[in-house]
Amino acid sequence: MTDPRPRAPRPGHPGPRPAPDPRPAPDPSPPLSVWVTAQRDARTQRRGRYLPAATAHPAKMLPAIAATAITRYSEPGDLVADPMCGIGTTLVEAVHLGRDAVGVEYEPRWATIAAANITHARGQGATGQAEIIRGDARQLPALVPAGMAGRVALVVTSPPYGRSVHGQVRAEQRAGGGGVEKYDNRYSDDPANLASHGLDDLLAGFTRILAGCAALLRPGGTVVVTARPWRQRGELVDLPGAVLAAGATAGLIPAERCVALLAGLRGRQLVPRPSFFQLDNVRKARARGEPWHLIVHEDVLIFRAPGFPLGSRELKRRRNGPPGDVVMTADVAPARLPAPAILPAPARRHAA
């Protein structure tokens, strides 16, 4: 007969093992609100991963910022979107991380480079699929196939910075010394491009874009927007605050606010990586007695779509059947393509 009374362990014996704790172990590395995304400078991050032509875009997202957002807020096999994809940074990082992606780009030049970057990524072993649609993202619901509504897990994008971008510089060669010459310092010469508009129109257009994104997201899906302040006639424009207001107006729910560093981190010291014009403007302002400082971070604004406050794994369990791959084809039917194509929006539905 078994004696139910507990017995004291014999001397030198460890005794019975304790029952396992059913609670999950704490994450040893919880996600931080400060993203360390510039340990390598922008040129090094893109070298070999993007084609040389991609450097021409005047306002590229750091690849490490896009990759961090995709890793945190989506799972392999998810669909990621960027309604203003530029040279395709979000799409390239998504396919390298095993996600599928779709991007919209208004400018033919950037759309062509984005498609080439995706082909380059696939050649490097990226397993995801990605497609680009040429069109005006303010008309987003009319650009994508109807079957995509409610399928997107994550949107990663950034608003255009209007006329505040600096582009590239090169030294002028002339007798007696020279200055510097700007080039590739505009998104476009097209006055219909949203980046050519004033601040009020730019924000109104971006609100429409976010509303279109909300229609594509699955319940509880995520929108990540990176933004930084800029100066307009010497005054600081709070673009991140304006983006928060735009997201709320578009029906999205603000969920988090993080910081992505544009400077390297060496121990307790920041290593700024400013452009020539950022550094020049700060130096001139300080010479005038104005206490300007270099901007060494971008605000990362995270929104959720209304619906289940669940992660990708939980949402996948609720879906019927496998998630499947969604990419754009010429007849806008879901399919898998071997290489990216640049697809014009249907003329009857596209407003420039």
Regarding beta strands 230-232 and 342-344, do their DSSP bridges make them parallel or antiparallel, or are they unpaired?
Answer: unpaired
Helix (H) / strand (E) element for 154: namely: strand 152-157
**Taking the CA of residue 289 as centre, how many other CA atoms within 13 Å lie in the half-sphere pointing to its CB?**
0
The confidence score (pLDDT) of residue 278 equals 76
Confirm if 322 and 96 have CB atoms less than 8 A apart. no
The confidence score (pLDDT) of residue 344 equals 52
**How far apart, in whole angstroms, are the C-alpha atoms of residue 229 and residue 239?**
5
18 domain residue, yes or no: no
The confidence score (pLDDT) of residue 231 equals 72
What is the secondary structure of 14-43 as a DSSP string?
--SPPPPP-SPPPPSSPPPSEE---SS-HH
319 domain residue, yes or no: yes
268 domain residue, yes or no: yes
**How far apart, in whole angstroms, are the C-alpha atoms of residue 121 and residue 128?**
9
Nearest CA among 117, 112, 160, 109 for reference residue 137: 160
Confirm if 184 and 58 have CB atoms less than 8 A apart. yes
The confidence score (pLDDT) of residue 19 equals 58
22 domain residue, yes or no: no
Q: Is 324 left (phi over 0), alpha (psi -120 to 50) or beta?
A: left
Who contacts 13 (Cβ-Cβ below 8 Å, separation ≥6)? Answer: none
CATH of the domain at 331: 3.40.50.150
Question: Phi and psi (nearest 5°) for 305?
Answer: -80, 150
For residue 331, what pLDDT band results from cuts at 50, 70 and 90? very low
Look up residue 98 and give its DSSP letter.
T
Identify residue 79 by its one-letter amino acid code.
L
Mean pLDDT computed over every residue of the chain: 78
For residue 228, what pLDDT band results from cuts at 50, 70 and 90? confident
324 domain residue, yes or no: yes
**How far apart, in whole angstroms, are the C-alpha atoms of residue 125 and residue 130?**
14
23 domain residue, yes or no: no
pTM of the predicted model as reported, rounded to 2 decimal places = 0.74
The confidence score (pLDDT) of residue 184 equals 46
Nearest CA among 303, 283, 309, 306 for reference residue 294: 283
**How far apart, in whole angstroms, are the C-alpha atoms of residue 351 and residue 265?**
45
- Other C-beta atoms lying within 10 Å of the C-beta of residue 134: 21
Q: Mind listing the pLDDT tens digit for each residue in 292-325?
A: 888 888 999 999 999 854 444 444 443 333 333 3
**How far apart, in whole angstroms, are the C-alpha atoms of residue 96 and residue 304?**
24
For residue 121, what pLDDT band results from cuts at 50, 70 and 90? very high
Q: Mind listing the pLDDT tens digit for each residue in 128-137?
A: 999 999 999 9
Calculate mean pLDDT across residues 104-126: 95
Look up residue 55 and give its DSSP letter.
G
**How far apart, in whole angstroms, are the C-alpha atoms of residue 138 and residue 147?**
19
248-287 CB burial, b ≥16 within 10 A, e <16: eebebbeeeebbbbbbbeeeeebeebeeeebeebbeeeee
Who contacts 125 (Cβ-Cβ below 8 Å, separation ≥6)? Answer: none
Range of the domain at 174: 38-344
**How far apart, in whole angstroms, are the C-alpha atoms of residue 66 and residue 154?**
11
52 domain residue, yes or no: yes
**How far apart, in whole angstroms, are the C-alpha atoms of residue 262 and residue 39?**
9
Into how many domains does the chain fold?
1
Q: Is residue 269 over pLDDT 50?
A: yes
